[in-house]
């Protein structure tokens, strides 16, 4: 190995020592409650497939039909020759679903933040951002060149302090928060943040990647949950979690969305999402608008699993959503726990999460509940978690 990269060896060794080196598993089947992972059929608690749409027959048929009509790739960025009728249709449907004027469909939720944030603020502006916001928000803030002021997690008083200390010095201000925080499953105090921003004339933005399809009426998201429909200036979302497909969305007033269409670099300089993905997303919106059964089943499963885990003595944190963090503490123990789950018979697929994704000493195993889990799946999960939890002393 070249001496140029000796530093990688050293850093990699340090990651291993701290129990922080990620083993990336390879999936050998479609996304569902049971999957083939590294060649073994296991019960899946890892994916963000909240409603089981990732392998849904209606979505698959929509994608298949779209390939027949549109082919496989648009071969252009949206602003040149990549805006298909399907994209516009999806944008109209997503805007209607969320009760806002317009929406912009981009390549991913990650891209949505890169697209939206630098379009709204720049040099001379200020962003107020929750300490635990998602990496794509952090990167979007950096890209914008605006001053970034971090407030303590979900702490409205601290946010107000930050606003008062900084607001006068800058041209425009933007507040950004995750809706649902993906590592803890807690939710932002959106109503109080909104009221605060209204008072100070601050642009509001929420990233609802884990709230869409989950919270609100029929899965309309966290803004709907707080009955703030149409009031948040920008709602960021993803089509790759509950919606089961691929892509991101920026929703808001027609003024704001039209501006972002002119300015957003991922929209202007990176090719459009395929027709197949777009058509599958449209089928997902159809399903969500047709009924609330999947969302209800997701919540039923969530309540059942969480009660079971609490009953067994596990600390499952402050989650109020289907995200269920099983607190372990030590990163190496969390890795070992996850491996023991995987190696049990049958195996359970649940990822350990350590620093820097969560703070040092707060390692956990994150269980993602889905509407597609059966009662037997959940019982099996509870059984095996309890058995291993006892054997390693995480529970009594």
Ligand X SMILES: *Cc1c(COP(=O)(O)O)cnc(C)c1O
Give me the active site residues, please.
182, 210, 241
Least CB distance from residue 85 to ligand X, whole Å?
Answer: 23
Output 185 or 248, the one with its CB closest to ligand X: 248
Least CB distance from residue 376 to ligand X, whole Å?
Answer: 29
Q: What is the DSSP letter of 82?
A: I
Output 83 or 133, the one with its CB closest to ligand X: 133
Least CB distance from residue 141 to ligand X, whole Å?
Answer: 13
Neighbours of 391 (CB within 10 A): 11
Least CB distance from residue 205 to ligand X, whole Å?
Answer: 11
Output 130 or 377, the one with its CB closest to ligand X: 130
Least CB distance from residue 211 to ligand X, whole Å?
Answer: 9
Note whether 112 and 236 are within 8 A (CB).
Answer: yes
Least CB distance from residue 70 to ligand X, whole Å?
Answer: 22
Interhelix angle 293-312/275-290, nearest 10 degrees: 80
- Which positions lie near ligand X, rule CB under 6 A? 108-110, 134, 136, 178, 182, 207, 209-210, 238, 240, 248
Q: Pull the structure tokens for residue 250.
A: 């920026």
Q: Pull the structure tokens for residue 269.
A: 């300089």
Output 197 or 209, the one with its CB closest to ligand X: 209
Q: Pull the structure tokens for residue 225.
A: 């949950």
Q: What is the DSSP letter of 22?
A: P
* Alpha helices by DSSP H, the chain: 6-17, 57-70, 85-98, 109-120, 135-144, 156-166, 190-200, 222-225, 254-263, 265-269, 275-290, 293-312, 331-343, 375-391
Q: Pull the structure tokens for residue 18.
A: 């701290």
Give me the phi and psi of 40, to 5 degrees please.
Answer: -115, 135
Output 110 or 128, the one with its CB closest to ligand X: 110
Q: Pull the structure tokens for residue 208.
A: 């609802």
Output 223 or 384, the one with its CB closest to ligand X: 223
Q: Pull the structure tokens for residue 146.
A: 């605006």
Question: What DSSP element (H or E) covers 238?
Answer: strand 234-238
Q: Looking at beta carbons, which residue is closest to ligand X?
A: 109
Q: Pull the structure tokens for residue 370.
A: 């889905």
For residue 128, list its beta bridge partners.
149, 175
The Cα–Cα gap between 159 and 128 comes to: 7
The Cα–Cα gap between 396 and 392 comes to: 10
- For residue 214, the SS3 value is coil
Output 136 or 335, the one with its CB closest to ligand X: 136
The Cα–Cα gap between 331 and 363 comes to: 5
């Amino acid at each position: 190995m070249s001496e140029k990269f000796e530093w990688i060896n050293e850093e990699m060794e340090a990651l291993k020592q701290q129990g922080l080196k990620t083993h990336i598993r390879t999936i050998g089947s479609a996304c569902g409650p049971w999957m083939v992972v590294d060649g073994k059929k296991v019960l899946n608690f890892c994916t963000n497939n909240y409603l089981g749409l990732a392998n849904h027959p209606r979505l698959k048929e929509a994608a298949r039909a779209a390939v027949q009509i549109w082919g496989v790739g648009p071969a252009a960025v949206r602003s040149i020759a990549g805006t298909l009728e399907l994209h516009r249709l999806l944008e109209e449907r997503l805007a209607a679903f969320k009760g806002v004027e317009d929406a912009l469909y981009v390549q991913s939720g990650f891209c949505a933040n890169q697209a939206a944030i630098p379009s709204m603020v720049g040099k001379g502006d200020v962003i107020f951002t929750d300490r635990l916001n998602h990496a794509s928000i952090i990167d979007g803030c950096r890209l914008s060149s605006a001053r970034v002021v971090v407030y303590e997690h979900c702490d409205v008083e601290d946010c107000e302090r930050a606003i008062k200390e900084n607001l006068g010095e800058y041209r425009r201000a933007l507040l950004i928060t995750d809706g649902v925080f993906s590592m803890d499953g807690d939710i932002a105090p959106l109503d109080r943040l909104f009221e605060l921003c209204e008072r100070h004339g601050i642009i509001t933005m929420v990233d609802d990647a884990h709230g869409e399809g989950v919270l609100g009426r029929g899965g309309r998201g966290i803004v709907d949950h707080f009955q703030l429909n149409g009031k948040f200036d920008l709602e960021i979302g993803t089509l790759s979690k509950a919606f089961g497909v691929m892509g991101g969305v920026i929703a808001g007033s027609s003024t704001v969305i039209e501006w972002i269409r002119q300015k957003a670099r991922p929209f202007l300089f990176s090719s459009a999402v395929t027709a197949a993905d777009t058509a599958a997303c449209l089928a997902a919106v159809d399903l969500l608008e047709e009924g609330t059964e999947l969302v209800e089943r997701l919540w039923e499963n969530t309540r059942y699993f969480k009660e079971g885990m609490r009953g067994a003595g596990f600390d499952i944190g402050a989650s109020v959503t289907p995200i269920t963090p099983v607190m372990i503490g030590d990163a190496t123990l969390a890795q070992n726990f996850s491996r023991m789950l995987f190696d049990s018979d049958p195996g359970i697929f649940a990822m350990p999460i350590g620093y820097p994704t969560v703070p040092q000493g707060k390692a956990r195993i994150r269980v993602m509940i889905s509407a597609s889990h059966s009662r037997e799946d959940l019982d099996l999960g509870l059984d095996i978690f309890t058995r291993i939890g006892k054997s390693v002393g995480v529970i009594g």
